[in-house]
Amino acid sequence: MDTIQITLPDGATRAVPKGTTAAEIARQISPRLAKEALVARTNGDLIDLSRPLDHDAKLSILTAKDPDAVQVFRHSAAHLLAAAVLELFPNVKLGIGPPIDNGFFYEFVRDEPFTPEDLAKIEAKMHELASKDIPNERKLIPKPEALELYRQSKQEFKCELVEEKATEPMVSFYTTGKFIDFCRGPHIPSTGRIKAFKLMNVAGAYWKGQEGNPQMQRIYGACFVEQKDLDDYLHKLEEAKRRDHRRLGQELDLFSIEEDAGPGLIFWHPKGGIIRREMEDWLRNALVQRGYDLVYTPHIMRRHLWEISGHTGFYKDSMFGPMEVEKDDYQLKPMNCPGHILIYKSRLRSYRELPVRLAELGTVYRYERSGVLHGLMRVRGFTQDDAHIFCMPEQIEREIQDCVEFAWDVLKVFGFREYVVELSGGDMARPQDYAGSPEDWKRAEDALTSTLRRMNVPFKYIAGEAAFYGPKIDVKLVDAIGRPWQLTTVQFDFNLPKRFKLEYVGEDGSRHQPLMVHRALWGSVERFFGVLIEHYAGAFPAWLAPVQAAVLPLSEKTIEYARGATRQLREAGIRVHLDDRNEKLQAKIRDAQLQKIPYMLVVGGKEAEAGTVAVRHRSKGDLGPRPLAQFLSDLKQEIDGRAIM
């Protein structure tokens, strides 16, 4: 009998008869591993636990701890979905069914749309099939036979896939009971362990994602190995829904998108406008303190400018079309960079002036397809907190460090504690794909790396992820429910300085090309506002809150005192609202809570007499009576210190 050598992850080796399966080896190692095993990895490839091993190999038995194994599990759940759908709706045509983040989908063609009731039935059928613990079995079928099989069952999309993807004479299929699917696999051994899933929704998609192809209905499911993980995920989704900035934007009257104006264009209502002004005031002050110059540039400029910059080439798809003015083409700006470059170039610069840091809250317009627009997060018109730094090579590390420190300030001031930093570099095996010489790139990447190291900032280096024009640092902040948001970017550019022939006169009297860095902290005002709404679930800290205090008179009798208190607060610069409606106190409190106003000041006869207010905080509840002047100075301090509470 032939034996083969199996090397386990801990380095131990085992001699086993040829044809032994990973499942058998798992059983030899421990009953617990055998029970938890989902799939195996040999020499880097994932394989079924039941696949006989016929060579010496490195073998790992994978459980739910391994992300790849979880994806295999989800893929098996997708097959279970298709099996259930075929039992209930035998005439559907099958598309593809891959695992995705947090779950899976399978796509079908069916004349009628799947309804929520259908989904409930399908889900029940899946549970029924799962509880039968049906094995997932691999079968190899000759290609002509495979095609015939699908032709007979009128599965033309599957025929197409077999035609295109099956390169070997024998084609790999998986069966789950009666269900059979053209599939490379691997799969988990049987359906019994698929318990923690939930069908979420149905979405339309074109076959192979190509417009014009037949419309498929994709049924999406969330799926985890453990019920607890599914529960956590569903809870997080609920929480995200509760925080959805589109809903809160309406409830708190912050912004809207108007059908008459068009999709992806944001109208800032007065309360949203207050928050924006506070955000921008903070930013402008910080910019000036850090030595930036504030500039303004036009919203439309000659198309010729965008030809020089190259945008009409590589950025064409994201721009709105040109408009003709006096036989000349003009272009709505998708970026601020060329405008700042024109300011830099408006006169000859000396090394003594560098670095030149030009900042603008610059509104840009980009053509995003209507399908990807999303509230404040993906829009067609938005204002970037944009800046461009032009400097000498020896100044670059200092400038990068300042940008990163600036980003930290943003995190702190706006109440974020966690972040993730990524450094995207070039793939220098393909220098022809990049603007700038390999030496430029190396120097730039070194500057970024050494700055982050010096600042003790942990970061992930991603080779080959940079845009063609330069390496960059991205800072993703993590919000109150653990979601990362890509906001800050510090991006080198070796392309534009060359295209625009930028220069400065060096100490040596000759002309040099400056380094150029694009950087944005929030990304865009709109998007950052959306993130803030969701992060705070609409309960903004006092310094950002559109209304900072509500004065709630108990009755007609105390209305005069309430008016006086309101006036005093307003004159001291507090955004205060007097609720003088003829309503019960409970109703007034409830409404102020719904509007997420930080402080409610209840005034009754006792308070009027003593010159106090009964203070109530939206999350801390009753704080007791306080002299009005005391409350005012406390609140002032909270606002001026931009306290997060």
Q: Which is nearer to Zn ion, 193 or 271 (CB)?
A: 193
Q: Which of 223, 195, 175, 218 is nearest to 71 (CA)?
A: 223
Residue 460 CB burial class (10 angstroms; 0-12, 13-18, ≥19): exposed
Angle between helices 156-165 and 143-152 (to 10 degrees): 170
Q: How far is CA 142 from the centre of its chain?
A: 44
Between CA 362 and CA 357 the distance in angstroms is 14
Q: Which of 39, 35, 37, 4 is nearest to 18 (CA)?
A: 4
Between CA 176 and CA 578 the distance in angstroms is 67
Options 193, 303, 366, 588, the catalytic residue: 366
Q: Which one of the spans 175-183, 391-399, 568-576, 635-643 is the region binding Zn ion (CB under 5 A)?
A: 175-183
Q: Is 384 a known active-site residue? A: yes
Options 518, 527, 535, 596, the catalytic residue: 518
| 616 binding Zn ion? (CB under 5 A) | no
Q: Which is nearer to Zn ion, 527 or 596 (CB)?
A: 527
Q: Which one of the spans 152-160, 178-186, 410-418, 585-593 is the region binding Zn ion (CB under 5 A)?
A: 178-186
DSSP per position, 299-318? SEEEHHHHHHHTHHHHTGGG
Q: Which is nearer to Zn ion, 337 or 475 (CB)?
A: 337
Q: Is 187 a known active-site residue? A: no
Buried b (16+ CB within 10 A) or exposed e, 605-623: eebbeeebbbbbebeeeee
**Location of structure tokens 């948001």:** 485
Q: How far is CA 383 from the centre of its chain?
A: 19
Q: Which one of the spans 82-90, 176-184, 230-238, 310-318 is the region binding Zn ion (CB under 5 A)?
A: 176-184
Query: Please, what is the minimum distance in Å from the beta carbon of residue 138 to Zn ion?
Result: 11
Query: Please, what is the minimum distance in Å from the beta carbon of residue 388 to Zn ion?
Result: 6
Q: Is 366 a known active-site residue? A: yes
Site mask for Zn ion (CB under 5 A), range 312-351, x = bound: -------------------------x--------------
DSSP alpha helices (H): ranges in 153-199? 156-165
Among 276, 518, 519, 577, binds Zn ion (CB under 5 A): 518
Q: Which one of the spans 15-23, 28-36, 197-205, 512-520 is the region binding Zn ion (CB under 5 A)?
A: 512-520
Query: Please, what is the minimum distance in Å from the beta carbon of residue 492 to Zn ion?
Result: 11
Q: Which one of the spans 183-191, 304-312, 404-412, 438-446 is the region binding Zn ion (CB under 5 A)?
A: 183-191
Q: Which is nearer to Zn ion, 172 or 401 (CB)?
A: 172
Between CA 597 and CA 76 the distance in angstroms is 49
At residue 627, what are phi and psi to the nearest 5 degrees? -60, 140
Q: Which one of the spans 282-290, 321-329, 517-525, 596-604 is the region binding Zn ion (CB under 5 A)?
A: 517-525
Q: Which is nearer to Zn ion, 517 or 613 (CB)?
A: 517
Query: Please, what is the minimum distance in Å from the beta carbon of residue 439 to Zn ion?
Result: 23
CB 257 within 8 A of CB 321: no
Query: Please, what is the minimum distance in Å from the beta carbon of residue 79 to Zn ion?
Result: 6
Q: Which is nearer to Zn ion, 490 or 549 (CB)?
A: 490
Q: Which is nearer to Zn ion, 166 or 252 (CB)?
A: 166
Query: Please, what is the minimum distance in Å from the beta carbon of residue 188 to Zn ion?
Result: 12
Query: Please, what is the minimum distance in Å from the beta carbon of residue 598 to Zn ion?
Result: 37
Options 79, 193, 303, 472, the catalytic residue: 472
Q: Is 337 a known active-site residue? A: yes
CB 364 within 8 A of CB 525: no
Query: Please, what is the minimum distance in Å from the beta carbon of residue 141 to Zn ion?
Result: 15
Q: Which is nearer to Zn ion, 435 or 635 (CB)?
A: 435
Q: Which is nearer to Zn ion, 125 or 518 (CB)?
A: 518
Q: Which is nearer to Zn ion, 98 or 605 (CB)?
A: 98
Query: Please, what is the minimum distance in Å from the beta carbon of residue 104 to Zn ion?
Result: 10
Q: Is 386 a known active-site residue? A: yes
Q: Which of 167, 160, 197 is nearest to 184 (CA)?
A: 167
Count Cα neighbours of 354 within 13 Å in the Cβ-side half-sphere.
26
| 77 binding Zn ion? (CB under 5 A) | no
| 183 binding Zn ion? (CB under 5 A) | yes
Sheet holding 511-512, edge to edge: 349-350, 504-505, 511-512
CB 256 within 8 A of CB 269: yes
Q: Which is nearer to Zn ion, 390 or 631 (CB)?
A: 390
- Residues numbered 142 to 161 that lie near Zn ion (CB under 5 A) are none
Tokens standing for 210?
């190509």
Q: What is the 3-state secondary structure (H, E, C) of 11-45?
A: CCEEEEECCCEHHHHHHHHCHHHHHHCCEEEECCE
Beta strands in 246-380, from DSSP E residues, in sequence order: 255-257, 266-268, 293-294, 300-302, 323-325, 328-332, 349-350, 356-365
Options 388, 519, 527, 596, the catalytic residue: 388
- Residues numbered 239 to 298 that lie near Zn ion (CB under 5 A) are none
What amino acid is encoded at 637 in this protein?
A: Q
At residue 207, what are phi and psi to the nearest 5 degrees? -55, 130
Tokens standing for 435?
């603007």
Query: Please, what is the minimum distance in Å from the beta carbon of residue 102 to Zn ion?
Result: 18
Query: Please, what is the minimum distance in Å from the beta carbon of residue 517 to Zn ion?
Result: 9
Q: Which is nearer to Zn ion, 337 or 578 (CB)?
A: 337
What amino acid is encoded at 510 in this protein?
A: S
Query: Please, what is the minimum distance in Å from the beta carbon of residue 181 to Zn ion?
Result: 5
CB 390 within 8 A of CB 340: no
Contacts of 510 (CB under 8 A, 6+ apart): none
Phi-psi map region of 461: left, alpha, beta (phi>0 left; psi -120 to 50 alpha) = beta
Options 159, 337, 391, 403, the catalytic residue: 337
Options 384, 491, 548, 595, the catalytic residue: 384
Angle between helices 559-571 and 628-640 (to 10 degrees): 30
Q: How many residues bind Zn ion (CB under 5 A)?
A: 3
Active site members:
337, 366, 384, 386, 388, 472, 518
Interaction site with Zn ion (CB under 5 A):
183, 337, 518
